[in-house]
Amino acid sequence: MTPSAIDYQIMWNRLIAVVEEQATTLIRTAFSTSVREAGDLSAGLFDRQGRMMAQAVTGTPGHVNAMAESVGHFIVEIGAQNIHEGDVYLTNDPWKGTGHLHDITVVSPVFRNGLHVGFFACTAHVVDVGGRGFGPDAGEVYEEGLLIPISKFAERGEVNRFLIQIVRANVRTPDQTVGDMYSLAACNAAGDRRLQSMMDEFGIGDLDGLSEFIMEASAKATRAAIAKLPDGTWTNAMTVDGFEKPVELVVTLDKSGDRMTADFAGTSGMSAFGVNVPEVYTRAYACYALKCAIAPEVPNNAASLAPFEITAPEGSILAAKRPAPVSVRHVIGHLVPDVVLGALHEAVPRTVPAEGASALWNIQISARPLDPASNLPPAEILMFNSGGTGARPNSDGLSATAFPSGVSTMSVEATEHVGPITVWRKDLREDSGGAGETRGGLGQVIEIGAREGYEFWFNAMFDRVDHPARGRDGGGTGAPGRVERTDGTRLKSKGRQKIAADQRLRLCLPGGGGYGDPRNRDRAAVAADLEAGKISAEAARQDYGYEGDKT
């Protein structure tokens, strides 16, 4: 019997539980702290054509929306005739995966009673892929680490031992990196088991009917949401730090009927260093910004993303060509939603937030013993940190919160557990949120030192240092970021640098922009911020005109 629309709707809802269990398996089995603690991953189910049917709620837009494109590359490269039950495929190709070598994407075909019915796919950031390590200093992608083309990790259930040997021989953390490869495969297998159970329950032999129902309903709902916007063309530009020179990000939105395009013509050309962004990652975050603002209630899948057409000039920093270095593509990529939402603000005022810190302040730390002859082991430590988000029209920005990436903060305890460092300070940064009728979210102050017997190098990959987040509709800018030693010595915001055994690193993370005239802020809210230490008495007076009981 053919399932009814109600049956398909129930199955669609159940798919979310299936892919969430898939993601949970990865979190529980992953070796990388960025996956276990921060949820830096994606997981999803795809139909036989490679169209994403459902994605796990856990995960980042960059991973999820880029992965939505990557499965199609796997189908072409492997070939339908070479897809077998028990196979597992993988790649970390930045242009066919999720934008840089540190993300490994794994795809596993789903079979039911000998019939190929779909794919499970997942992505995770691994600690090391060799080369220069996770940082922006490379001049070509070849320097950034080991690139694994679309390959069979396993064929008919048999793991490719030679591939494992190649990976182990080229990375600094062989157990962790290879362990994560197995975790990714296990994640897809868990999704497969859960899907088979669901298909048994509903008595279906394939996913074709369910996929068509999902695609048709999602496309219809998304296009209806776009159609509600006024027709027009809107442009926005934003200058950000870049590496060797500032970068100009420019976008033009064009809306006509139920169609929305975003074109990044006018954006700066490629950098000589690893802040370049493959276009797949640009599309991922531009789509995310538009969909969040226009059709947030429609589940994320291939059909709900398709109505948003994203283009960037080939060779620009948002459409980097091989073999450009792209290791820290998130630094510029995470700023894409800010420039897109700035243009959308012209179409739908009082809807989108002010600019935020946006780009994660990730730090890769290489801890090394002072005495190379000692028995102290080296360690690679990845730490995720977030500044403040932009204020919203009707509420303050969020402090120390990752937007647009959506990853969780990694706890100090988990970070210290994986390597010989101590986090001496981690608190909110006073006066870092931009003033406004609604205030920007606060950044953080973080201080890190090596434990006894160690020193460390760190890869800086930070933005919003020279060009802080701008406020909206009269709101103030957020505080710029700052990188320094605790003795006050300023350090570079990008690149590999050393912290000696007797020194500590201090990161002052940027805040989000404010929204609206600060003088219109509720007096009780100003008093509460002052009491909580979010703003100083001087800022209360200068920015908000607040004199306590005298106001």
pTM: 0.96
Handedness of CA 520, 523, 529, 534 (dihedral sign): positive
Which residues, in sequence order, are bridge partners of residue 448?
423, 505
Predicted confidence at residue 547, as pLDDT, reads 86
Same domain for 67 and 209, yes or no, is yes
Predicted confidence at residue 417, as pLDDT, reads 92
Among residues 219, 253, 275, the one where a domain terminates is: 219
Predicted confidence at residue 34, as pLDDT, reads 87
Residue 15 lies in a domain: yes
Length of the chain in terms of residues written: 551
- Contact call for residues 275 and 459 (beta carbons, < 8 A): no
Residue 395 lies in a domain: yes
Residue 549 lies in a domain: yes
Residue 523 φ then ψ, to 5°: -60, -35
Judged by phi (left if over 0) then psi (alpha if -120 to 50, else beta), residue 123 lies in beta
Taking only the tens place, the pLDDT of each residue in 39-53 is 899 999 999 999 999
What is the rounded CA–CA span in Å between residue 273 and residue 139? 5
Residue 346 lies in a domain: no
Domain that holds residue 431: 353-551
> Which of 151, 120, 126 has its CA nearest to residue 21?
120
What is the rounded CA–CA span in Å between residue 425 and residue 448? 7
Residue 240 lies in a domain: no
Predicted confidence at residue 551, as pLDDT, reads 44
Residue 182 lies in a domain: yes
* Three-class DSSP category at 254: strand
Question: CB under 8 Å to 431, separation ≥6 — which residues?
Answer: 479, 534, 535, 536, 539
Residue 291 lies in a domain: no
Among residues 192, 219, 246, the one where a domain terminates is: 219
Taking only the tens place, the pLDDT of each residue in 83-131 is 999 999 999 999 999 999 999 999 999 999 999 999 999 999 999 999 9
Residue 87 lies in a domain: yes
Average pLDDT across each block of 10 residues of the chain; the chain has 551 residues. List them in order. Answer: 89 94 94 88 96 93 92 96 98 97 97 97 95 96 98 98 98 95 97 97 96 97 97 98 97 97 98 98 97 95 96 98 98 98 96 97 96 93 96 98 93 92 97 98 98 97 98 98 97 97 97 98 97 97 86 44
Beta strand segments in 410-467, E: 421-428, 444-450, 454-461
Q: Count the domains in the chain.
A: 2
Among residues 167, 187, 219, the one where a domain terminates is: 219
DSSP 142: G
